[in-house]
Amino acid sequence: MTQIATLIGARGADSVTLELVDSLRNAWGGGDAVWLSPLTAAEFPMDSMPDNRWDVWSDLQRLGVDLIVQQGAGRRKKMLLADMDSTMIQQECIDELADEAGVGARVAAITAAAMNGELDFDGALRERVGLLKGLPESVIADVLEKRITLMPGGAELLATMKAHGAYAALVSGGFTAFTGAIAAKLGFDENRANTLLEKDGFLTGEVGMPILGKQAKVDALEEITARLGLSEHDVLAVGDGANDLGMLKRAGTGVALHAKPSVAAECDVRVNFGDLTALLYLQGYSLDEFSNC
């Protein structure tokens, strides 16, 4: 079965050169190269998966280039299932709230450990939310406006996939107060997340039950594909944390985006330098196919 090798660099880094692509194509006996974006992304077909794939991947990482090798058939997906924190946005929303509450360093340390898979997600979430007790609910809107920024390439990713008929779901271990806003801004068809409980305008330090963690993301994949009449192979999933691994492994293409090392090590598709437009390039979309946002 035909395999496709895709080389992707950071936008504007000009790291994917003609010499680099031709050298790898010749070494692997690949077919003609297709330039998806000059000096940023290129691909070529091969008859089989190279035995030295990960050795070459390591070499290219030192050059600031991501390498994805996958089957050519069925690359363009009909559904996007995305994590939010450090994936569709550049921050961890609970860390930003904690900073406003004066417990930022303590909560950030728990977040990092949980995303590395060192702590139970549910327990870590309860502990962090507990530290937010007494924070005015109005702070959420302030954080959204002043602290939260979109991950580069997200608007292009959503607009292009949706223009080609894909369904998009945002599923987060974060909070509905954030996923609702981000989903609306980017054009997701639905969003799922945890609920911060409040009383009299202040956070109670508790989270609504049940907690949406790792299994909830797998459940979302199963439920949404069943509802839409899609297969799991039709799904492109993206995330960065340990609680994303379930959906990343089940999806047809699971992308570890700027992921924690322990997470990336379990995924075949890793994007460490490209932004979210890399998810279009690895599906075979060229720059001139991107939808205007």
pLDDT over threshold 60, residue 16 = yes
Active-site residue, selected from the candidate residues 47, 59, 83, 95: 83
Q: For residue 85, indicate whether it is catalytic.
A: yes
Query: Could you state, in order of their start, the residue ranges of all structural domains in the chain?
Result: 1-73, 77-293
Which strands, in side-by-side order, build the sheet including 65-71?
34-37, 41-46, 3-9, 65-71
Give the burial class of 243: count Cβ atoms within 10 A of its Cβ; 0-12 exposed, 13-18 middle, 19 or more buried. Answer: buried
Of all residues in the chain, what percent carry a pLDDT higher than 70? 100
Query: In 3-state terms, what secondary structure has residue 220?
Result: helix
Query: CB under 8 Å, gap of 24 or more: what pairs does 164-168 form?
Result: 164/76, 165/78, 166/77, 166/78, 166/79, 166/80, 167/78, 167/79, 167/80, 167/224, 167/228, 167/230, 168/79, 168/80, 168/82
DSSP-assigned letters across all residues of 120-162: -HHHHHHHHHHTTTT-BTTHHHHHHHHT--BPTTHHHHHHHHH
**CA–CA distance, 220 with 222 (Å, rounded to integer):** 5
Q: For residue 200, indicate whether it is catalytic.
A: no
Residue 238 banded pLDDT, cuts 50, 70, 90:
very high
pLDDT over threshold 60, residue 76 = yes
Written out in words, the top-level CATH class of the domain with range 77-293 is alpha beta
Measured torsion, CA atoms of residues 264, 270, 271, 272, in degrees rounded to the nearest 10: 40
Give pLDDT, residue 111. 86
Residue 293 banded pLDDT, cuts 50, 70, 90:
low
pLDDT over threshold 80, residue 240 = yes
* Average pLDDT of the residues in 257-278: 96
40-52: pLDDT as tens digits? 999 999 999 999 9
pLDDT over threshold 90, residue 260 = no
80-94: pLDDT as tens digits? 999 999 999 999 999
Strands 34-37 and 41-46: antiparallel
* Average pLDDT of the residues in 71-87: 97
Give pLDDT, residue 60. 98
* Average pLDDT of the residues in 198-225: 94
Give pLDDT, residue 41. 98
**Model-level pTM greater than 0.85?**
yes
Give pLDDT, residue 118. 87
**CA–CA distance, 66 with 277 (Å, rounded to integer):** 13
* Average pLDDT of the residues in 74-79: 98
- Mean pLDDT, the chain, integer: 95
Residue 282 banded pLDDT, cuts 50, 70, 90:
very high
Rg (CA), the chain: 20
Amino acid (one-letter) located at 179: T
Residue 174 banded pLDDT, cuts 50, 70, 90:
very high
Beta carbons within 10 angstroms of residue 172's beta carbon: 28
Tokens standing for residue 65: 């280039």
Give the burial class of 24: count Cβ atoms within 10 A of its Cβ; 0-12 exposed, 13-18 middle, 19 or more buried. Answer: buried
Of all residues in the chain, what percent carry a pLDDT higher than 90? 89
Active-site residue, selected from the candidate residues 55, 59, 85, 288: 85
Fold of 1-73: Alpha-Beta Plaits (3.30.70)
Q: Which residues does residue 34 pair with via DSSP β-bridges, in sequence order?
A: 43
